[in-house]
Amino acid sequence: MSNARAGAETVISVEDLRKWYGEVRAVDGVSFDVGRGEVFGLLGPNGAGKTTTVEMLEGLREPDSGSLQVLGIDVARDPGALKERIGVALQTAQLYPMLTVTEVLELFRSFYRRSLPSEQLIEFLDLGERRNGRTSELSGGQRQRLAVALALVNDPEVVFLDEPTTGLDPAARRALWELVKRLQEQGKTILLTTHYMEEAEVLCDRLAIMDHGRVLEMGTVNELVGRHFQERTVFFSAIPGLSDERLAGLADVTGVKHDEGEVLLYSRDVPATIGALLAATESIGAEPENLGVRRATLEDVFLDLTGRALRD
């Protein structure tokens, strides 16, 4: 497993973190480090333990065991000092629906010893038009930008974003991705959770794939994909009468997977595999539909690790 980027100071350090709720092992021995200026992602399906992990880092939940250090602060020992220096965006539905954007920002500024001017945050998050509008009247994307603005009120060194784009339309999602990149340019360290593979690929310098409270794999996107697949993926709609054994025997195929009515062939030599596939389908009087080729993705990695698809 790779460590934080070489040379970078470690600002988040998680070691053998555990949190059980009765029999449910929400977090079951999680360890990772995040270097200063990194965007680190926890990728996994709902219930994988991502949010529980992040909330323990934010001082909102107490771990059963394990050690947590953020910015050199022992989270368990001094959550108050920690909270001055981190920013948090929860998957919160709504904060103070009756107040305006400016009023909520001013309210949150009052909680911190040091804070940025509201106008600067409004500018940065492109909320100018809505500054005097009630938060209940914001669109989903604006609401999420306000949540990020609130996370930035104290100009934190570390920002936690929990599922920042869940429920957003594609345009709003892209706008938020831009925002995260700008935060990284400012030198902030960002820990985000997501169950969108594409989001993890676009944003994260490194990521940990989580499932059932454990980290299954960790590294950069290229490392993760390269570790699992030297091959490319040939995909097509499943054809009845073409057995997995037959497919596995096709030229240069190293693996066969099924994903929601789609067959995935991992191939060392795409032209050879497709040629063999066409011959095989012709022999049973069929034709592969929706045939295509792609590089392996995080989705494939997750499928390979757990035997099921990440997207729900």
Partner 1 sequence: MTALIALTIANIRSYLRNRQAVFWTLMFPLIFIFLFGAIFTGGNNSIKVGWVDADRSEASAQLRSAFAQVPIIKLVDLGQSDALEQMRHGDVSGVIVVPAGYARSAAEARQDPSRQANVIVYTDPSQISARGSVMQVTNGVLAQVNLGGRLPAIVATARDLQTQDLNAVSYLTPSILGMALMQLGVFSAIPLVADRENLILKRLNATPLRRWQLVGSNIVMRLLIGIVQTALIIGVGAFVFHVQISGNPLLGAGFALVGALSFLALGYVIASFAKTEDAANGMVSAVQFPLMFLSGTFFPLEQMPNFLQVVARALPLTYLSDALRQTMVNGAALFPLWVCMAVLVGWSVVCFGIAARFFRWQ
Question: One-letter amino acid identity for 97?
Answer: P
Residue 75 binds partner 1, judged by CB under 8 A: no
Three-state SS at 73: strand
| Residue 108 touches partner 1, criterion: CB under 8 A | yes
- According to the binding rule CB under 8 A, does residue 156 interact with partner 1? no
Q: Is 22 in the site for partner 1 (CB under 8 A)?
A: no
Q: Is residue 8 within the footprint of partner 1 (CB under 8 A)?
A: no
Minimum distance between the CB of residue 64 and partner 1, rounded to whole angstroms? 17
In whole angstroms, the minimum distance from the beta carbon of 158 to partner 1 comes to: 12
Question: If binding is defined by CB under 8 A, does position 155 make contact with partner 1?
Answer: no
Q: Kindly report each contact of residues 219-227 with a partner whose C-beta sits within 8 Å and lies 24 or more positions away, as own/partner.
A: 219/1, 219/2, 220/2, 221/298, 223/2, 224/298, 224/301, 225/295, 225/296, 225/297, 225/298, 225/300, 225/301, 227/301
> Following CA atoms 208, 214, 217, 218 in sequence, which dihedral angle do they give, to the nearest 10 degrees?
30
Nearer to partner 1, 58 or 199 (CB): 58
263 three-state secondary structure = strand
Minimal distance, residue 284 CB to partner 1, in Å? 55
Q: Which stretch binds partner 1 (CB under 8 A): 21-29, 55-63, 70-78, 182-190?
A: 55-63
Instruction: Please give the structure tokens belonging to residue 189.
Output: 């360290």
Sequence-distant (6+) residues with CB within 8 A of 22 are none
187 touches partner 1 by CB under 8 A: no
**How many Å is the Cα radius of gyration of the chain?**
23
Nearer to partner 1, 191 or 224 (CB): 191
99 binds partner 1 (CB under 8 A): yes
Which residues face 68 on adjacent strands? 14
Contacting partner 1 (CB under 8 A), which of 17, 39, 71, 90?
90
Q: How many residues bind partner 1 (CB under 8 A)?
A: 28
Residue 94, interface with partner 1 (CB under 8 A)?
yes
Q: Which stretch, 4-12, 80-88, 201-209, 213-221, contacts partner 1 (CB under 8 A)?
A: 80-88
Residue 191's nearest CA partner among 153, 161, 212, 219 is: 161
Left if phi > 0, otherwise alpha if psi is -120 to 50, otherwise beta: which for 25? beta
* From candidates 83, 143, 173, 188, binder to partner 1 by CB under 8 A: 83
Choose between 103 and 126: whose C-beta lies nearer to partner 1.
103
**Maximum separation of any 2 CA atoms in the chain, in Å:** 74
- Say how far apart CA 134 and CA 101 lie, in whole Å: 6
Compute the least distance from the CB of residue 142 to partner 1, in Å.
17
Which residues bind to partner 1, rule: CB under 8 A?
58-60, 80, 83-84, 86, 88, 90-99, 103-104, 106-108, 110-113, 150
